[in-house]
Structure 1
């Protein structure tokens, strides 16, 4: 039996703890904040009309089989803890300039038909051709990449890729390059470009292999958890406690002790003696690990990749809007948005708030999250990280966040959804308000396809979560936990 300390009680940390505890290890989870769940955050706003409840992180569950596997591996059934509601549409895409609306769904043939009805037969034929390629990329990556350790690009090169798989994956091609070569309709290109932002990346630089992301979503479906996605954190915490995991909140880990090339424990603020450990699993951003907890300049230098942050409005809205659960309102000029969000530090061009951004609106049709006759809106806009570097924005500059919130509501009104006179309240969260994530980078600081390795640079150190392999998003984070737990193995 190993003494294992998990730093961070996000989904990756809790999932790893549960998997390790069920195999006989002694597991302690240390969480900086007062609540578990990590980016799977929640916010409640009480008003005279009643309480509004918001998911402040992920609002869509995909690849549900990953979570069924997790609960079964820890001796339970997912359906005993969570109520999964399938979504159709998964996402409502609203194109600019009064363009058509395209609702996505988990039936590939039906979605192709919807593409044809909204955008024409040529667009539907293009989508079918792209879909065949996406299927091949998914099949090649799902087993060989997403479910096993990948410590370096050499590991990818050593895989026994079939030539057809390599042709589909197109190493070296960007997602933008792929959609320009495959899709003639600019609106379909917008739809595909959006999936780069799922990893915090710019589609003009993100790898074409990310075409597997929409394939997974539109093949296996999108799901809502009744009561909000935060109920997943409750379920994982319950599994951990039932399995004997010790979970301590309000515990600030300041250092990982690793003399002699192996971990010995962690140091916690306010405690004289370190907490001993044979294994440490870090469920915090890789940048935090290699900058603060176990400084490693070489690995830190590899985390210079720029990643998106998010600017959020939490709105209490009177009446009903008729919106879908997930809605995306596209801008006229998507590239202008990416230029603003990422900036061009090499040319001395600073990042700035996008004047005409893509706006994501989530409205859960769930009486548990809003008073009768009202809606709880989660509004997200891609934004530059918080900071003072050329590729960041100082979101604490007086008046900036409030002014940008006004701008977002104005843009929504211009796109046909005006709620400015129906607001019960408006809460604003800029990237500066996202605690625990460097710069407010909601997808992890290492955006892109190849993330930092799960195995750390010293014996007994492992990384899980959105900033490590296989990447961000609830299913990928949960798979990172499976990879690490299997590598550590059962108690001896």
Structure 2
């Protein structure tokens, strides 16, 4: 998505753009599976901060809403806790959120959450410029370090877990906050406190479903890139980035041919770029830096085609385990969690199911990366299917037994994600945000090679639909400043 968005922006700026995509469909991790009238998004299941895409479309042609239909997701999530308590979190309404938290968890919890979101709003204002909307530079770090008020607000030395422990009295509400670390593939005990901006963004700017599935957004961005003049080459694998005369000169394809260019924008995972697509001497320094950063977690997915309807089911349901810390210990220790959090996405969208007496469920659990020999081998015979059975059993124990309604299922593992997207080990977000220096270890948009730029979830500012769109905006501006001559095709 970052690469397509960058292509659209660069095309609109008058550059001649060629997009090389290894698969037969563009969109990266925003995938889809359709079968027997059921359609499943296999990547993101909601859109937050839609302004990032509204800006993209306005800068490259007509408005976003001319291409896709955005529908508010309300409630955003239904949380089910181990003690049986349920919390339905409303969409984009401070008053409604306060009421819902108070009714489910008590007035103290409502006060605490409201105060947390007010704090997160201040963190958002302090970080959005240097950390999200511009390339992160040493000058930004120095400026932030000298701004004592901003430094105290962001508190880079604190973890997200610490924020929850200090500000939220109810352990169930702390579980809700901890979960936002997984939005960056991270452990809340080590992820930075600044990630509290994610629930603020959801509450302030809303959470949105794209009618027909998030894949429609990917198709719209791809179409916009083509409309701005980009040449889209599907099934075109890049074997290496060419560096000649000390700068990027194009790419060599798997068939041995080359595409010459004045500028190369890599939308691949940064570890793939520096580890396989560049000569070792050129990639040595950024690769050493990358190895100091911990890769993000991955995900184990079930696509369930179900008969009948589930009373009271909302778009998103999160089923928490009794021991949340054990899940993070397992996942980042290379082990499959025995009792994971289970996330169910079941959009009430007629375009995603064959009839009104059926449901299409996307079920996700946090999972260790595919690391045969040293960690979990997701390709081991029978392993994935056995774990799928275990997840269905966990769903049943937590009140959502759908085994007798199952028409069929598709199992997708971290190994599948690695094969499809070349994300090492199936790491969803590239590097995690674990540790206070994580943001500064994430690869910069400008590589050490002149004329080579990075875009997408594994580079600055990070993963997720909004951030990769911001990444594309940053890269397009950097290319415009660095290259005043048209790109060659």
TM-score range, shorter chain: over 0.9
For residues 61-98 of structure 1, what are the alpha-carbon distances to aligned partners after superposition, in whole Å with 9 as ceiling and x for unaligned? 01111111110000211111000001111111111131
2:73 alignment counterpart: 87
2:286 alignment counterpart: 299
- Which residue among 455, 464, 478 is the counterpart of 1:473? 464
2:84 alignment counterpart: 98
Separation in structure 2 between the aligned mates of residue 100 and residue 270 of structure 1, nearest angstrom? 55
On the 8 A contact 1:151/1:454 being kept in 2, the answer is: no
- Which residue among 288, 313, 323 is the counterpart of 2:272? 288
- Which residue among 335, 360, 368 is the counterpart of 2:343? 360
Q: What TM-score results when the alignment is normalised by the length of structure 2?
A: 0.93
Separation in structure 2 between the aligned mates of residue 25 and residue 383 of structure 1, nearest angstrom? 41
Separation in structure 1 between the aligned mates of residue 368 and residue 229 of structure 2, nearest angstrom? 41
On the 8 A contact 1:93/1:330 being kept in 2, the answer is: yes
Separation in structure 2 between the aligned mates of residue 459 and residue 204 of structure 1, nearest angstrom? 38
Separation in structure 2 between the aligned mates of residue 290 and residue 306 of structure 1, nearest angstrom? 15
1:489 aligns with 2:473: no
On the 8 A contact 2:307/2:359 being kept in 1, the answer is: yes
1:332 aligns with 2:322: yes
Separation in structure 2 between the aligned mates of residue 161 and residue 190 of structure 1, nearest angstrom? 33
SS in 2 for 1:489: helix
1:19 aligns with 2:4: no
Separation in structure 1 between the aligned mates of residue 141 and residue 394 of structure 2, nearest angstrom? 43
1:346 alignment counterpart: none
2:452 alignment counterpart: 461
Q: Greater shift after overlay, 55-64 or 164-173?
A: 164-173
On the 8 A contact 1:453/1:469 being kept in 2, the answer is: yes
SS in 2 for 1:148: coil
- After superposition, the Cα gap between the structure-2 partners of 1:72 and 1:333, relative to the gap in structure 1 and judged at 3 Å, is same
For structure 2, the 5+ residue unaligned runs are none
Separation in structure 2 between the aligned mates of residue 333 and residue 160 of structure 1, nearest angstrom? 37
1:253 aligns with 2:238: yes
On the 8 A contact 1:438/1:445 being kept in 2, the answer is: no
Q: Greater shift after overlay, 317-326 or 196-205?
A: 317-326
Separation in structure 1 between the aligned mates of residue 397 and residue 354 of structure 2, nearest angstrom? 27
1:133 alignment counterpart: 119
CA RMSD for the aligned pairs?
1.5
Q: Greater shift after overlay, 295-304 or 464-473?
A: 295-304
Separation in structure 2 between the aligned mates of residue 134 and residue 218 of structure 1, nearest angstrom? 11
Q: Residue 101 of structure 1: CA displacement? A: 2.7
1:310 aligns with 2:299: yes
Separation in structure 2 between the aligned mates of residue 230 and residue 339 of structure 1, nearest angstrom? 33
Q: Greater shift after overlay, 160-169 or 353-362?
A: 160-169
On the 8 A contact 1:446/1:452 being kept in 2, the answer is: no
1:267 aligns with 2:252: yes
1:240 alignment counterpart: 225
For residues 145-175 of structure 1, what are the alpha-carbon distances to aligned partners after superposition, in whole Å with 9 as ceiling and x for unaligned? 21100145x6323347643322121111111
1:32 alignment counterpart: 22
Separation in structure 1 between the aligned mates of residue 141 and residue 364 of structure 2, nearest angstrom? 34
1:410 aligns with 2:410: no
- Which residue among 146, 165, 186 is the counterpart of 2:132? 146
Q: What TM-score results when the alignment is normalised by the length of structure 1?
A: 0.92
1:212 aligns with 2:202: no
1:6 alignment counterpart: none
- After superposition, the Cα gap between the structure-2 partners of 1:327 and 1:161, relative to the gap in structure 1 and judged at 3 Å, is farther
For residues 8-49 of structure 1, what are the alpha-carbon distances to aligned partners after superposition, in whole Å with 9 as ceiling and x for unaligned? xxx111110111111110000000100011011011122xxx
Separation in structure 1 between the aligned mates of residue 371 and residue 267 of structure 2, nearest angstrom? 23
1:112 alignment counterpart: 98
Separation in structure 1 between the aligned mates of residue 93 and residue 35 of structure 2, nearest angstrom? 37
Q: Greater shift after overlay, 22-31 or 290-299?
A: 290-299
2:378 alignment counterpart: 395
For residues 402-443 of structure 1, what are the alpha-carbon distances to aligned partners after superposition, in whole Å with 9 as ceiling and x for unaligned? 111011010111010100000000111111111221101112
Separation in structure 1 between the aligned mates of residue 190 and residue 286 of structure 2, nearest angstrom? 21
SS in 2 for 1:421: helix
